[in-house]
C-alpha cells in the first residue's frame, strides 16, 4: 500500500500504467477500488492515479465535518506532489463535485475535466428525492451501514443478472466507518458552484446516465453554462455508470481524451 501525507492526513493511493497522468476521483462511501473497471482499459495509455478521499477506504478518517473544499484541497495537494505539471481528471458523483472545485480553484493543475453522474450544485428534482438522500443519515444512525448499503445496491443494480454486483457493493459499502460517512454527507448540504461555471475553461465532458438520480435535463442545462463542454448520455444505466456500463463509458472518455491530450 502506498500512502502520502497531505494537509496532515495520510491518503491511500495507487499509481499504474504509463503515459499522460489521469486522475480518477470516487464518490460518497466508495474508495479507489471503484475504478477497477477503468484501470485495465486506461493504464495501457495513461499513468493512472487513484486514491481514497479522507474518511474513505484506507485513508485517514479524522472525526470532523468534511466539505467539498476540504476534499478538493487534499486532492490539489496530492496532484502538486505527484504531478505538478497537472492531470486529466475524471470524477464520479461526489468526485465530480470535487473535480468542479479543482477546475475552478486550481485551474493550473487540470488539463481536462470529465464529470460522471454529478452536478455543480446539490439540487434535488423534487422533495421525495431530497428526503431520501438526507434520510441516509438517519438510516446509518438507526440501522447501520448494512441496511443503507442494501437499499443503495438494490436501487443502482436492480436487475436480476446484477445480483453479483449487488452483493459485492453491499459488502464494500458496509466497510465504511459510520462517523466518516456521516461527516461526508454534511459536505452536500447547500453546496453549489453553479454561479462560477463560466470560469471553467478547460475541455469538459459531462456524462449522464439516462436513469441517474438527477435528470438529464439538468445536466444539459449546466453543460451549456460551461464554455468548452459537451454532454454524452449513456443509456440503460443508473448512478454507477462506471460499473453497469463500463465499456461504453470507457470508450466515451477515451475518445474525449484522445482529442485533447497533448
Q: What is the DSSP string of 145-181?
A: HHHHHHHHHHHH--SGGGHHHHHHHHHHHHTS-HHHH
- The larger pLDDT score, comparing residue 130 to residue 180, is at 180
| Residue 167 reports pLDDT greater than 90 | yes
What pLDDT, on the 0 to 100 scale, is given for residue 258?
Answer: 96
In the CATH scheme, what architecture does the domain 2-125+190-260 have? 3-Layer(aba) Sandwich (3.40)
Whether 138 shows a pLDDT value over 90: the answer reads no
pLDDT greater than 80 at residue 51: yes
Is residue 19 within 8 Å of residue 46, measured between CB atoms?
yes
C-beta atoms surrounding 223 within 10 Å: 18
- Specify the pLDDT at position 127: 67
Instruction: Kindly report which listed range (74-78, 108-112, 128-132, 160-164) carries the lowest average pLDDT score.
Output: 128-132
Strand locations in 29-180, DSSP E? 47-51, 87-92, 110-116
Question: Mean pLDDT across the stretch 100-109?
Answer: 98
Assess whether pLDDT exceeds 70 at residue 114: yes
Q: What angle do CA 149, 36, 100 make, to 5 degrees?
A: 80
Q: Where exactly are the structural domains of the chain?
A: 2-125+190-260
Cα–Cα distance, 134 to 189 (Å, whole number): 9
* Torsion over CA: 253, 164, 174, 146 (sign): positive
CA angle (94 as vertex; 91, 99 as ends), nearest 5? 40
Average pLDDT estimate for 217-232: 97
Q: Which residues fall within 8 angstroms of residue 98, CB to CB, at 6 or more apart?
A: 25, 53, 68, 71, 72, 75, 91
Helices and strands in the chain: count of H runs, count of E runs: 10, 8
CB 102 within 8 A of CB 89: yes
Phi, psi angle pair for 119, to nearest 5°: -165, 160
Average pLDDT of span 90-108: 98
Amino acid at each position: 500500500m502506498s500512502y502520502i501525507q497531505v494537509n496532515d492526513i495520510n491518503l491511500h493511493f495507487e499509481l499504474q500504467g504509463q503515459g499522460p497522468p489521469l486522475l480518477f476521483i470516487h464518490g460518497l462511501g466508495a474508495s479507489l477500488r471503484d475504478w477497477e473497471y477503468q484501470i485495465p482499459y486506461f493504464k495501457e495509455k495513461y499513468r493512472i492515479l487513484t486514491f481514497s478521499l479522507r474518511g474513505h477506504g484506507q485513508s485517514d478518517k479524522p472525526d470532523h465535518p468534511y466539505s467539498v473544499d476540504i476534499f478538493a484541497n487534499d486532492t490539489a495537494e496530492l496532484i502538486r506532489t505527484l504531478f505538478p505539471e497537472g492531470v486529466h481528471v475524471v470524477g464520479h458523483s461526489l468526485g465530480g463535485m470535487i473535480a468542479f472545485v479543482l477546475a475552478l480553484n486550481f485551474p493550473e493543475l487540470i488539463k481536462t475535466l470529465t464529470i460522471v453522474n454529478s452536478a455543480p450544485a446539490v439540487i434535488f428534482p423534487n422533495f421525495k428525492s431530497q428526503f431520501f438522500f438526507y434520510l441516509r443519515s438517519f438510516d446509518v444512525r438507526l440501522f447501520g451501514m448494512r441496511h443503507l448499503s442494501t437499499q443503495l445496491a438494490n436501487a443502482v443494480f436492480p436487475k436480476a443478472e446484477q445480483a453479483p454486483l449487488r452483493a459485492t457493493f453491499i459488502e464494500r459499502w458496509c466497510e465504511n466507518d459510520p462517523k466518516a460517512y456521516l461527516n461526508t454527507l454534511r459536505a452536500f448540504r447547500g453546496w453549489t458552484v453553479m454561479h462560477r461555471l463560466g470560469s471553467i475553461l478547460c475541455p469538459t465532458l459531462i456524462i449522464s446516465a439516462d436513469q441517474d438520480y438527477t435528470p438529464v435535463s439538468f445536466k444539459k442545462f449546466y453543460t451549456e453554462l460551461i464554455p468548452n463542454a459537451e454532454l454524452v448520455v449513456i443509456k440503460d444505466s443508473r448512478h454507477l455508470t462506471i460499473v453497469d456500463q463500463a465499456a461504453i463509458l470507457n470508450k466515451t472518455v477515451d475518445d474525449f481524451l484522445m482529442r485533447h491530450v497533448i
